[in-house]
Amino acid sequence: MKADIHPDYQETAIACACGTVYHTRSTKRDLKIGICAACHPFFTGEQKFVDTAGRIEKFSRRYAGAQSRKKSA
């Protein structure tokens, strides 16, 4: 490898908001992330639907007629 062209890698702790800490090497020190593989719904299998504005019900009401028209056609 050529000298003085590669970044300086350091031991780094990547901390998630859920409390999980990953130790690796990076060019930055002590990274903080909001979501990781330990708490992401895709990896944990726990899906939470947060519907504060009633968007799912609004969508269902809007397209409920489309389902009945599709079945009759």
Q: Check residue 58 and give its pLDDT.
A: 83
Mean pLDDT, residues 60-66 taken together: 82
Check the annotation: does 60 bind a ligand. no
The whole-model pTM stands at 0.50
pLDDT tens, position by position, 1-57: 688 898 888 999 999 988 889 999 999 988 998 888 888 777 677 776 666 677 788
Answer for the pair 19, 28: CB distance below 8 angstroms, yes or no: no
Extents of the domains making up the chain: 10-72
> How many angstroms separate the CA atoms of 2 and 9, rounded?
16
Report whether 16 belongs to an annotated binding site.
yes
Which pLDDT score, from 0 to 100, does residue 18 have? 87
Q: Flag whether 39 is marked binding.
A: yes
pLDDT attached to residue 62? 86
Q: Does domain 10-72 match CATH 2.40.70.10?
A: no
